């Protein structure tokens, strides 16, 4: 049937078939001679990448953490004597100075106790004075052999006993004065008072646990924060190299605005084995009250400055099982892999200890399409280079 069908073709049909085969052969031959891949197979096409230069300069070093603002000191003001709360002399939320009057307790009962102690001291002092005069008379009579030595010794012992009694009375008077002074309650430190815990008219006791009010010292104010325990060596080294306490910045967690700058005042004496962190404390002058107790903030602990340091965008750093590396753009537009030793990554930049030279260009976008020796073509740099691609 096939041969019968072919026998019916006209010469024009055979001519068309020959021309079609010739066209296919010519296209195939041109592609192989030019060495260009067919459409849809860009195996050797340049890879579009964005690059950045390796820069050199002085780089500030710091560690970041999260901390909690705490009062520099906290005092719960309590009464030290029992009595009726006669007066409250502060307003809730008020800023008070050390020594400022806060409250008074009815002093009348303790005033009466003081008067009793003073009266007893006066009576015993008069008795002592009379005994001393008798002792002088007995001394004169003893010289005249008009009295016995035993009588003189007895009187001298009596004087000594009365002197002890008067000293006890002096102590009683001092104690009564101290107790009376407790009826006037003053601020033990400067700070901000909280809510009033007891209203005037109530009977208060020295055994009460709640107290009258809590005072928080917020100028200056403290900030406690934690850092990984493995950073303790760098912290100690920076402290030893700095003539002043290390600088600390408190940063708002939402706006990244620096709220206050202070100084490191404490590195705890042990690492928390359960969390693997070390606790630190910084102190800030807080005249503007930009920091408030209980506030959570980000923390930057300055470790100094590294001079002539090499930096690249953090986005240029790639990692594999052998560690960090980056793609370096050669002058011929081909790329090579360069193993890196990274000291620190901060603010979207990596601090490079080895593996690069100043002025070299590294790939910050398009790395994962590259192979060693691949050709590249530059495109516009990405708008953000703070994170790896």
Burial 128-160 (b: 16+ CB within 10 A, else e): beebeeebeebeeebeeeebeeeebeebbebbe
Q: Give dist(CA 320, CA 370) in Å, integer.
A: 14
pLDDT given for residue 40 in this prediction = 45
* pLDDT score recorded for residue 368: 85
CATH number belonging to the domain at 107-182, selected among 2.40.50, 1.10.10, 1.10.287, 1.10.8: 1.10.287
pLDDT band, residue 277 (cuts 50/70/90): very high
pLDDT of 30 reads 53
**DSSP alpha helix (H) spans, 52-148:** 108-143
Query: What is the predicted pLDDT for the residue at 46?
Result: 86
Other CB atoms closer than 10 Å to residue 195's CB: what's the count?
Answer: 8
Quick check: 39 pLDDT over 50?
no
Burial of residue 208 (CB within 10 Å: 0-12, 13-18, 19+) is: middle
3-state helix, strand, coil in the chain (%, to 5): 30, 40, 30
Q: What pTM value is reported for the model?
A: 0.70
Better-predicted residue by pLDDT, 32 or 83: 83
Q: Where are the beta strands (DSSP E) in 169-275?
A: 184-186, 191-193, 203-204, 213-228, 247-251, 258-267
CATH 2.40.30.170 describes domain 63-72+218-305: yes
The share of the chain scoring above pLDDT 90, in percent, equals: 68
Residue 54 has pLDDT above 50, yes or no: yes
Cα–Cα distance measured from residue 93 to residue 103, given in angstroms and rounded to the nearest whole number: 15
Across 19-33, 291-305, 372-386, which has the greatest mean pLDDT? 291-305
Where does the pLDDT of residue 6 fall: very low under 50, low under 70, confident under 90, or very high at 90 and above? very low
Where do the domains of the chain lie? Answer: 47-59+308-378, 63-72+218-305, 107-182
* pLDDT number for residue 345: 86
User: Which of 45-54, 126-135, 278-287 shows the lowest mean pLDDT across its residues?
Assistant: 45-54
Cross-strand pairs, 247 = 263
| Residue 180, token pair as written in the block | 């009376």
Check whether 339 has a pLDDT greater than 50. yes
Per-residue confidence at 2, pLDDT binned at 50, 70, 90?
Answer: very low
pLDDT tens-digit map of 107-132: 999 999 999 999 999 999 999 999 99
The CATH architecture of the domain made up of 47-59+308-378 is Beta Barrel (2.40)
Share of the chain above pLDDT 70, in %: 86
């Amino acid at each position: 049937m096939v041969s019968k069908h072919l026998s019916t073709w006209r010469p024009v049909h055979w001519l068309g078939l020959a021309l079609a085969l010739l066209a296919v052969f010519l296209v195939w031959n041109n592609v192989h001679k030019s060495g260009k891949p067919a459409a849809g197979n860009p195996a050797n096409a340049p890879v579009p990448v964005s690059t950045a230069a390796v820069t050199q300069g002085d780089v500030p070093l710091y560690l970041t953490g999260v901390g909690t603002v705490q009062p520099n000191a906290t005092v719960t003001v309590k009464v030290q004597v029992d009595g009726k709360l006669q007066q409250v002399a502060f307003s809730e939320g008020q800023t008070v100075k050390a020594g400022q009057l806060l409250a008074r307790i009815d002093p009348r009962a303790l005033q009466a106790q003081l008067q009793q102690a003073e009266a007893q001291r006066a009576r015993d002092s008069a008795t002592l004075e009379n005994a001393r005069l008798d002792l002088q008379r007995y001394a004169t009579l003893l010289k005249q052999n008009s009295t016995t030595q035993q009588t003189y010794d007895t009187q001298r012992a009596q004087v000594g006993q009365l002197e002890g009694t008067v000293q006890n009375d002096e102590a009683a008077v001092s104690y009564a004065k101290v107790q009376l002074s407790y009826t006037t309650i003053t601020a033990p430190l400067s700070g901000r008072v909280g809510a009033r815990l007891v209203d005037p008219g109530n009977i208060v006791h020295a055994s009460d646990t709640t107290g009258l009010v809590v005072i928080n010292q917020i100028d200056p104010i403290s900030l406690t924060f934690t850092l990984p325990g493995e950073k303790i060596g760098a912290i100690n080294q920076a402290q030893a190299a700095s003539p002043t306490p290390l600088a600390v910045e408190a940063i708002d967690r939402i706006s990244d605005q620096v709220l206050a700058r202070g100084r490191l005042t404490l590195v705890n004496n042990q690492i928390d084995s359960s969390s693997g962190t070390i606790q630190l404390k910084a102190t800030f002058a807080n005249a503007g009250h930009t920091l408030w107790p209980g506030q959570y903030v980000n923390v930057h602990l300055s470790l100094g400055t590294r001079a002539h340091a090499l930096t690249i965008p953090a986005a240029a750093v790639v990692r594999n099982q052998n560690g960090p590396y980056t793609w370096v753009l050669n002058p011929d537009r081909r790329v090579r892999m360069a193993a890196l030793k990274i000291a620190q990554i901060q603010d979207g930049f990596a601090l490079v200890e080895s593996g690069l030279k100043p002025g070299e260009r590294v790939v910050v976008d398009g790395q994962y399409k590259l192979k060693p020796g691949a050709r590249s073509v530059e495109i516009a740099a990405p708008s953000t280079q703070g994170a790896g691609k």
